[in-house]
Amino acid sequence: MIEFRHVSKIYGKVQALDDVTFTVGTGSVTGFLGPNGAGKSTALRILVGLSRPSSGSATVLGLPYAEMACPGLRVGILLDAGAQHPGRTGREVLTLGAMTLGLPRTRVGEVLDLVGLTERESRRRVGGYSLGMRQRLGIAHALLGDPEVLILDEPANGLDPQGIHWMRRLLRDLADAGCAVLLSSHLLHEVEQVADHIVMIGRGRVLAQGTVDELSRGRGLEQTFLELTADTDRSPGAGASPGIDAGRGAA
């Protein structure tokens, strides 16, 4: 459903992604795990056609994303919950999306229910939303077209424990219904609890991939993660020189 083939991206002298190859299958949740600046956001932006790879290719449902006729009806995307016009209401944001995709307005109410935003909250301006509410709104927007593939960048940021629990259930249900879900995170425990597969990335390179059990190696996922990402650790004395942000901003 999602396929990265030897994707590299170079910004000036910085190698943001280096030969990234992995796939996400149907009916599964894949966690894209890596420290801040590892290149997660860069990879996802290349996947959805917002950014061009320096080499390699990425496809969704067998096609480069930008070549799909109406991708919003097949692929749901949340790249940055903060990227909203603060002056629009949550409902208006979803209405614009539903109009663009040619969906009935009733779909707006349905996705609001799905993500647990109330009628009153939906009529408030996004500028007054907490980060958790923005995440819910962003997920609602991604779900508008009832997609087969879901791509979420750090969707758990800003969610409270109930919110994280809710999202886990939601993603699990979607995957069980046949959806391919790719979510990025720098938070190990969240990913561990929801993902079937994990792709670990650091400094733009895929460090390891497999099922949660395979990567745990009987010692826990955290230990594997810390070992593999030791050279990007910024704490004094750990690893080599302080990590260079391979991605741009919080990847």
Interacting residues toward another protein by CB under 8 A: 45, 48-51, 65-74, 77, 79-80, 82-88, 92, 96-97, 99-103, 141, 145, 248-249
| Residue 161 burial (C-beta neighbours within 10 Å; 0-12, 13-18, 19+) | exposed
> Any bridge partners for residue 8, and if so which?
55
* Distance separating alpha carbons of residues 69 and 23, to the nearest angstrom: 22
- Amino acid identity, position 231: D
Closest CA to 18 of 2, 51, 42, 1: 42
Q: Which is nearer to another protein, 131 or 230 (CB)?
A: 131
CB 138 → another protein: shortest distance, Å? 9
Q: Which is nearer to another protein, 97 or 163 (CB)?
A: 97
Q: Which is nearer to another protein, 85 or 234 (CB)?
A: 85
* Distance separating alpha carbons of residues 198 and 214, to the nearest angstrom: 9
Q: Which is nearer to another protein, 91 or 197 (CB)?
A: 91
Closest CA to 38 of 65, 12, 60, 18: 18
Q: Which is nearer to another protein, 82 or 210 (CB)?
A: 82
CB 35 → another protein: shortest distance, Å? 20
> What number of other Cβ atoms are within 10 A of residue 57's Cβ?
12
CB 222 → another protein: shortest distance, Å? 31
CB 55 → another protein: shortest distance, Å? 16
CB 174 → another protein: shortest distance, Å? 17
Q: What is the DSSP letter of 244?
A: P
CB 246 within 8 A of CB 38: yes
